[in-house]
Amino acid sequence: MRSHEWWQHGIIYQIYPRSFADSNADGVGDLRGILGKLDYLSWLGTDAIWISPIYPSPMADFGYDVSNYTDIHPVFGTLDEMRELIAAAHARDIKVILDFVPNHTSSEHPWFKEARRSRNSEKRDYYLWHDPAPNGGPPNNWLSVFGGSAWEWDEETGQYYYHAFLKEQPDLNWRNPRVRQQMYAAMRFWLEQGVDGFRVDVLWHLIKDAEWRDNPPNPDYVPGQAPYNQLIPAYSTDQPEIYPIVKEMRSLMNEFDERVLIGEIYLPIRRLVSYYGTAGDGAHLPFNFQLITLPWNARQIAAAIGEYEGVLPPNAWPNWVLGNHDQPRVASRIGLPQARVAAVLLLTLRGTPTLYYGDEIGMRDSVIFPEAIRDPQGKNIGISRDPARTPMQWSSATNAGFSTAEPWLPLGHGYEHCNVEGQTQAKDSMLTLYRRLIELRRKEPALCIGSYRPLVSGGDVIAFVREADTGNRFLVALNLGPRPALLPLDTLGTGQVVLATESRRESERVSGRLVLTGDDAVVVRLD
Ligand code: NOJ
């Protein structure tokens, strides 16, 4: 695998730091907490951790409202502790990826405070200000992802400012070269600290239409969806001027060895892959969220894998994501039996997998009573992300071993039975399945960096072959339905099951055809 970069053959694990491990008994996770779990992450087979924002922040959006890009929020620790964490991770061959939030700052950031002081402020143009429309209302019809107009009236200076998210998250003006310089300086600061890369928040939002044209209505909008979806964000996101910016970010990364640039981008697949750039000059990994956004249906997923493989630019490396802190957990979306199938899919597809903390033990969305909701999106539009952000379930001890104090969000139900400690030794646990899948992937170049070839299948079955340069081949067959299914192997010949969602199948010989029980997934080493 030396032919490939670490971010191609590795596995990324997302940590939502508030909820991972609390070392100082304040109910909120922190850097020392993560430090204490590095051995677990290494045992699991993690190659890199991506940590959601840890910078100083008023926490209106739990860290995605940054008030200082080059320091650490005291609730998480100190800069020295961050350095310690980087060193300790590196000592275990674990890379550290930070979340970088360039689209907007906190309204408490000194730049915004200065910018809103007066229209003549030297920082005014760091943000997006606009006079009212002729009728006195907002300059255009753009909506905030978190509900309502994306424009906030500033009484003091008599103009609106644009915020794609909360009004406490004013969008930066990325057409201003000084903004770019400042943001690149912040990235450089972390790269010099030894950080191995960034996951760039809402990368496709950075540039907006220069003429501020109205977004068109979305004819497919279904009431009950987030109000933001009433319009197609044709002018407020994904503008062509984004590419030179991604290119600038990439060339900054290229000044350092072995760094990775990941983009958070929710776009249709053909648009998404344009963020790879035209000649390897874009993001290394524009996050591919199809396994989250598509219905869990074999036909649609198989087609999406095929389309993605087909539209990847030359030399672009694929990637797959099963969950994150903004989405319902996989075990709740598709149920536990299928979450096992999904684990097999994620870890056998061609492309870098990103795991969300807790999915490896099958954590589910928790019920959070309305009065306990902390997520601003939940408070504003009723679509709360808190259920997928509850404390990591380490053991059946008090507070699931996450903290000795009451956690900032309620614990998941059933943590007494669903936790790392209880699953570590259990032969058929989700954790054992994840750990073994990761181990197999790391050991077998075919699964890790090998080619991908889809097989014709039908009904609820997805099947494909992964093959290494050496000719080593694996068949992966997944049954996304509850009923048994039969997969003819045609010319594939014979093989042996090496890993299966039902471990009793392992070492079974396969010849001519493969029988799958309902909710079953198997990896077969072909002879
Ligand atoms: C995407 C992040 O993943 C999400 O958590 C956040 O609320 C928005 N960007 C705004 O930064």
Please report, in tens digits, the pLDDT of each residue of the chain (527 residues total): 778 999 999 999 999 999 999 999 999 999 999 999 999 999 999 999 999 999 999 999 999 999 999 999 999 999 999 999 999 999 999 999 999 999 999 999 999 999 999 999 999 999 999 999 999 999 999 999 999 999 999 999 999 999 999 999 999 999 999 999 999 999 999 999 999 999 999 999 999 999 999 999 999 999 999 999 999 999 999 999 999 999 999 999 999 999 999 999 999 999 999 999 999 999 999 999 999 999 999 999 999 999 999 999 999 999 999 999 999 999 999 999 999 999 999 999 999 999 999 999 999 999 999 999 999 999 999 999 999 999 999 999 999 999 999 999 999 989 999 999 999 999 999 999 999 999 999 999 999 999 999 998 889 999 999 999 999 999 999 999 999 999 999 889 999 999 999 988 998 999 999 999 999 999 999 99
- Report how far ligand 1's centroid is from the alpha carbon of 165 (Å): 8
Whether 152 is in the pocket of ligand 1, judged by its Cβ within 6 Å, is: no
512: buried, middle or exposed (CB in 10 Å: 19+, 13-18, 0-12)? exposed
Q: Which atom of ligand 1 is nearest to the CA of 324?
A: 3
Whether 16 is in the pocket of ligand 1, judged by its Cβ within 6 Å, is: no
Give the residue from 3, 34, 146 showing the smallest Cα distance to 449: 3
Whether 60 is in the pocket of ligand 1, judged by its Cβ within 6 Å, is: no
Burial 225-241, CB ≥16 within 10 A → b, else e: ebbbeebebebbbbbee
Question: For atom 11 of ligand 1, which residue has the closest CA?
Answer: 64
- Report how far ligand 1's centroid is from the alpha carbon of 64 (Å): 6
Q: Which DSSP letter does residue 172 get?
A: B
pLDDT of residue 1: 72
- Report how far ligand 1's centroid is from the alpha carbon of 105 (Å): 12
Q: Beginning with the edge strand found earlier in the chain, give each strand of the sheet holding 151-154 in spatial order.
A: 129-130, 159-162, 151-154
- Quick check: 287 and 263 in contact, CB under 8 A? yes
- Report how far ligand 1's centroid is from the alpha carbon of 463 (Å): 34
Structural element, H or E, at residue 180: helix 177-192
Q: 510 φ, ψ to 5°?
A: -125, 135
Ligand 1 probe mutation, 106, 321, 326, most atoms within 8 A of CB: 326
pLDDT of residue 338: 98
Question: For atom 4 of ligand 1, which residue has the closest CA?
Answer: 326
Length of the chain: 527
Whether 326 is in the pocket of ligand 1, judged by its Cβ within 6 Å, is: yes
Whether 61 is in the pocket of ligand 1, judged by its Cβ within 6 Å, is: yes
Q: What is the maximum alpha-carbon separation in the chain?
A: 77
- Report how far ligand 1's centroid is from the alpha carbon of 434 (Å): 27
Question: For atom 6 of ligand 1, which residue has the closest CA?
Answer: 64
Taking the C-alpha atoms of residue 446 and residue 184, their distance in angstroms, rounded to an integer, is 38
Taking the C-alpha atoms of residue 496 and residue 485, their distance in angstroms, rounded to an integer, is 18
- Report how far ligand 1's centroid is from the alpha carbon of 176 (Å): 23
The residue behind tokens 């978190």 is: 146
Question: For atom 5 of ligand 1, which residue has the closest CA?
Answer: 326
Whether 375 is in the pocket of ligand 1, judged by its Cβ within 6 Å, is: no
Whether 266 is in the pocket of ligand 1, judged by its Cβ within 6 Å, is: no
Whether 202 is in the pocket of ligand 1, judged by its Cβ within 6 Å, is: yes
Give the residue from 360, 345, 352 showing the smallest Cα distance to 298: 345
469: buried, middle or exposed (CB in 10 Å: 19+, 13-18, 0-12)? exposed
pLDDT of residue 331: 98
Give the residue from 79, 103, 92, 4 showing the smallest Cα distance to 49: 92
Residues in CB range of 66: below 8 A, 6 or more apart = 53, 55, 56, 57, 101, 105, 106, 109
Q: Residue 4: left (phi > 0), alpha (psi -120 to 50), or beta?
A: beta
Q: So which residues are the catalytic ones? A: 99, 201, 264, 325-326
Q: Which atom of ligand 1 is nearest to the CA of 101?
A: 11
pLDDT of residue 504: 87
Whether 101 is in the pocket of ligand 1, judged by its Cβ within 6 Å, is: yes
pLDDT of residue 491: 87
- Report how far ligand 1's centroid is from the alpha carbon of 371 (Å): 22
pLDDT of residue 25: 98
